[in-house]
Amino acid sequence: MDTNLQRHTSRVSPTGPQMVRQLNRRLVLDLFRDGEERSRADIARQTGLTKPSASAITDELLAEELLVPTGVGSVGATGGRRPNLLRYNSRCRAYVGVYFGVQRTVVSIADALGRPLARAAAASSVGDPERGVRAVRALVTRASARAEISLERLASVGVAVAGLVDHRSGTCLLAPNLGWRDVALRERVEELLGAPTTVYNEAHAGALAERHSGVATEVDSFVRLTIGTGVGSGVVVDSQLFAGSTGIAGEVGHCRVEDDGLDCACGNTGCLETVASAPAITRAVDEALERGEISSLRPGSHVRLIVDSARQGDDPARAALTRAGHGLARGISYLLNVLNPELIVIGGAVQDAGGLLLDPIQEELPRSSLPQNRGCEIVMSSLPDAELDGAVLLARRLDEAATQAG
């Protein structure tokens, strides 16, 4: 179990009959987490509990409003009375996902099944982490009002941040593009919202979302690259997120890919981030415009506009994406040679680029990686908000881990 989750779930374990009852209660609750309706007979059959035990636990969960009645079902093949149906009360608790991006801070409120209900956003606070964290309370209040769900139902919070995170302490060690350093995010968010909180790097959260509901749902070992103001990666090995000893694994954006490259925000030079990030792609177009090359673009164009122009044959736009693709190939080669994943997923600002980015990656990759890695597929992500989705998923997992701990 993640040590960040252990912090909130460690307690004295019950023994004897109390433990058995808690395990059976958890068994019934887990059964309903798929959102489906069931009768008491279904509960007994699917959990293996005796009918009296299943009925007693069901009555308890109904009294606590964790389960709710939904009507009656159909008569079975053998006849008899129509069964009363129950389902998990999706409004019994709420989860909050927070994404501290470089441009925006976004909050999502989800129900007990992890389904998003509402969100709220504000400009991120660059250079002032305390102001940025304080804004979360107002965003959560706004989103919960839109979702018509009381903050008293808030069970847990998941945070994704565009920076290096020590997941053991919940501290943002460094977010160079936000101007944040050594920010006790978990501690401050817990103080503001009064709920257990877990904190991860944005790329790690995005990888969890990709494994849960994206293109990697059937893949055991993969890497998800997040291309935005920076370049990060979330590594999943044997279906488990690999965060490293302190939580900063996957920082491929700060691997050198150019010997005579530009200065990076991390303090080094020639990092992948200086070649393939969204600002790097925009800068490459701007430099072409300064040289007098013909383009439909203006200085400072957003990457998505650059992608659209490249599709129309704009030469500076295509050249910028090609350069980024070649740089990504060199960065990906590190991942392939070290991790040997089944799949590489590219998400973020460039995920609509398709072949404009994938083709130069495939062109350059054989020059940098072992030939035995050429079976690894490289695809674009299908999730537009993977980092925020991952934050909600983290919150739900934190709550479920606490439930399992009793």
CA distances from 77 to 44, 177, 252 (A): 18, 63, 59
Categorize the per-residue pLDDT at 127 as very low, low, confident or very high, splitting at 50, 70 and 90: very high
Which of these three, 88, 109, 139, is where a domain ends?
88
pLDDT at 371 over 60: yes
77 compared with 120, residue with greater pLDDT = 120
For residue 6, the model assigns a pLDDT of: 46
Same domain, 363 and 226: yes
In the chain, pLDDT over 90 holds for what percent of residues?
A: 70
Same domain, 194 and 233: no
For residue 72, the model assigns a pLDDT of: 83
* Ramachandran sector of residue 268 (left: φ over 0; alpha: ψ -120 to 50; beta: rest): beta
pLDDT at 252 over 70: yes
Same domain, 71 and 51: yes
Q: Which residue has the tokens 């509402």?
A: 118
Predicted confidence (pLDDT) per residue in 346-368, tens digit: 999 999 999 999 999 999 999 88
What does the pLDDT average to over 92-102? 95
Categorize the per-residue pLDDT at 246 as very low, low, confident or very high, splitting at 50, 70 and 90: confident
User: Are 239 and 220 a contacting pair, CB within 8 Å?
Assistant: yes
Predicted confidence (pLDDT) per residue in 5-63, tens digit: 444 544 444 557 777 878 888 888 888 888 889 998 899 999 999 989 889 999 999 99
What does the pLDDT average to over 91-119? 94
For residue 1, the model assigns a pLDDT of: 39
Residue 266 in tokens: 């991390």
Categorize the per-residue pLDDT at 241 as very low, low, confident or very high, splitting at 50, 70 and 90: very high
Q: Is residue 175 part of a domain?
A: yes
Q: What is the CATH number of the domain that holds 84?
A: 1.10.10.10
Q: Is residue 55 part of a domain?
A: yes
Same domain, 246 and 316: yes
For residue 406, the model assigns a pLDDT of: 54
For residue 77, the model assigns a pLDDT of: 55
Beta bridge partners of 99: 106, 160
Q: Is residue 253 part of a domain?
A: yes
Find the range with the poorest average confidence among 65-79, 102-116, 325-339.
65-79
For residue 75, the model assigns a pLDDT of: 66
What does the pLDDT average to over 198-204? 95
Same domain, 141 and 271: no
Distance of CA 336 to the CA centre of its chain: 22
Q: Is residue 167 part of a domain?
A: yes
Q: What is the CATH number of the domain that holds 150?
A: 3.30.420.40
Q: Is residue 186 part of a domain?
A: yes
Same domain, 20 and 49: yes
E runs forming strands in 136-196: 154-161, 164-166, 171-175, 180-183
Categorize the per-residue pLDDT at 3 as very low, low, confident or very high, splitting at 50, 70 and 90: very low
What does the pLDDT average to over 310-329? 97
Q: Is residue 212 part of a domain?
A: no
Report the chain's mean pLDDT, rounded to a whole number.
90
For residue 202, the model assigns a pLDDT of: 95
Q: Is residue 191 part of a domain?
A: yes
Same domain, 397 and 254: no
E runs forming strands in 217-267: 222-227, 231-237, 240-242
Name which of 286, 326, 321 is nearest 304 in CA terms.
321
pLDDT at 82 over 50: yes
Same domain, 372 and 391: no
Categorize the per-residue pLDDT at 169 as very low, low, confident or very high, splitting at 50, 70 and 90: very high
Predicted confidence (pLDDT) per residue in 146-159, tens digit: 999 988 899 999 99
Please tell me the distance from the alpha carbon of residue 225 to that of residue 206, in angstroms, as a whole number: 9
CA distances from 393 to 97, 161, 206, 210, 390 (A): 8, 14, 10, 11, 5
Same domain, 65 and 28: yes
Categorize the per-residue pLDDT at 226 as very low, low, confident or very high, splitting at 50, 70 and 90: very high
Same domain, 263 and 199: no
Same domain, 369 and 262: yes
In the chain, pLDDT over 70 holds for what percent of residues?
A: 94
Give the domain extent around 58.
3-88
What is the pTM (predicted TM-score) of this model? 0.85
Which of these three, 19, 54, 88, is where a domain ends?
88
pLDDT at 256 over 80: yes
Alpha-helical segments (H) within 108-148: 129-147
Categorize the per-residue pLDDT at 403 as very low, low, confident or very high, splitting at 50, 70 and 90: low
Same domain, 224 and 349: yes
For residue 404, the model assigns a pLDDT of: 63
Query: Structural domain tally of the chain?
Result: 3
> At CB < 8 A and 24+ separation, what contacts does 13-19 make?
13/405, 13/406, 14/406, 19/406
User: Are 223 and 339 a contacting pair, CB within 8 Å?
Assistant: yes
Alpha-helical segments (H) within 273-385: 273-276, 278-290, 303-311, 315-339, 355-364
Q: Is residue 23 part of a domain?
A: yes
